[in-house]
Structure 1
Amino acid sequence: MKTETTSERIAVEALKILEREGADAVSMRRVAQAVGITPMAIYHHFPNREALLNFIVDREFEKFLEHMLARPQRGSVESRLLGSMDSYISYAFDRPRIFDYVFSQPRPNARRYPDDFRARRSPTLNPIADLVAQAMESGYLKRDDIWEIALELWAHAHGYVMLYRGGRFHLSETQFRALVRRSFRRLIHGLKA
């Protein structure tokens, strides 16, 4: 049985606070108290709040990527693209406050387009870009800028999620997901070769 390190316990408790109350509620003192260590002891593991938040964000990106890659990577290009976007939407519904912090709030070390994305520093957009590249190579999609198309797909999903969460739809989650899938199909068909 693997023993959890103090750093891991700190990250777990910080993540719990982040999910329950949002990023502003995550303080070093509060996390230390939740873990059962002194406020000064937490600094032996993370030099500051930003480093702690960056650590848990990186772990969340890994979890999200695992979730995306757990989907079968077979079927049509369209079904694989839709599956990737479904994973993104599921993450937004399952982990709303973490989603907000990771994808919707300014963060000092957040990856930025174009440099970070084109340098493949985005663990969550890389698989989308790879799928877009394969689709262009096979002739399924028109040749275009791979990263711009991947970003367009992501922005499309993100926009729908933000509008839904902002109360702009009077739809159940199931109805909303069906709407987004129809919209994605239209978008993908517009990009087809």
Structure 2
Amino acid sequence: MLGDVIQPLKRRRAPRGSGEQLREEILDAATELLLETGHAKAVSIRSVAQRVGVTPPSIYLHFADKDALLDAVCARYFEKLDEQMQAVSDQPSSIEVLRAQGLAYVRFARDTPELYRIATMGEGRPGSDVDLTLNSSAFMHLRTSVEALIAEGVYPAGDATAMALELWTAAHGVAAMLVAKPYLPWGDAEEFADRVLRAVCLGQIVGGMIGTDVAPSDTVARLKEFAEGIHQ
């Protein structure tokens, strides 16, 4: 759960002058405060400094301002997500890799709901460390899987970035709803996430075969014809 993913947050006092260790202590303290308060606005440079046991100017030696500090916290969070998505990439086929990555994304969000909410649903700034981390981790994994499926002829030839964005949007939507509304009748959350992600993934495949410009009713008719042909 959260403790296995983000922890340990217990700080080890570093020798005086150890700048990198102090930076990690600052990030740990800011993460702790975010988890305790559940909101970035409740975290200040002064409160982080008090938690670490240093003066506010010591924080500014490592982070230009509060926004830079929070960006670094979120960037470290997405590095952990990157590790989780890499850990499930050993699958028998590209389509199973994509499925496992989507489920790992949703699972990570459910295990770390407070940080996920802050990192993905807060106000972002173009060019921030968070944007850079997203571009190099979760989204890149999905796009690489989509590119593999296109090369294999499973996915239609097209814009891999756009298709990966569709899948990422679905994964984020599922994760956000499970985090924000856990009390709704989802049933088994893992199975629910799998059904939604499977529907989007297969929808992209079917759309590539039949055509995205075909009316939904015509798509249903063609699929019925296909199913009847199989059973004849």
Bin the TM-score by the shorter chain.
0.7 to 0.9
Larger Rg: 2
| Alignment equivalent of 2:168, drawn from 128, 148, 154 | 154
SS of match in other structure, 1:141: coil
Question: What is the 5 A alignment of 1:1-193?
Answer: 5-21=21-37, 22-109=39-126, 121-167=135-181, 169-172=184-187, 175-192=188-205, 193=209
The answer to whether the 8 A contact 1:77-1:135 is kept is yes
Change (3 A) 1:186 1:94: same
List per-residue Cα deviations over 1:71-116 (Å, max 9, x = no partner). Answer: 24322222211111111111211111211121111122467xxxx7
The answer to whether the 8 A contact 2:150-2:157 is kept is yes
> How far apart, CA to CA, are the structure 1 residues paired with 2:65 and 2:171?
33
Which blocks of at least 5 consecutive residues in structure 2 are unaligned? 1-11, 15-19, 210-232
The answer to whether the 8 A contact 1:78-1:185 is kept is no
SS of match in other structure, 1:149: helix
> How far apart, CA to CA, are the structure 2 residues paired with 1:176 and 1:164?
8
> Once structures 1 and 2 are overlaid, which stretch shifts more, 140-149 or 156-165?
156-165
RMSD after superposition = 2.4
Change (3 A) 1:13 1:109: farther
The answer to whether the 8 A contact 1:19-1:95 is kept is no
Give the Å deviation of 1:187: 2.0
Give the Å deviation of 1:138: 0.8
Runs of 4+ residues deviating >4 angstroms: none
Give the Å deviation of 1:131: 0.6
SS of match in other structure, 1:121: helix
The answer to whether the 8 A contact 1:19-1:96 is kept is no
> How far apart, CA to CA, are the structure 2 residues paired with 1:74 and 1:160?
23
The answer to whether the 8 A contact 1:7-1:45 is kept is yes
The answer to whether the 8 A contact 2:106-2:193 is kept is no
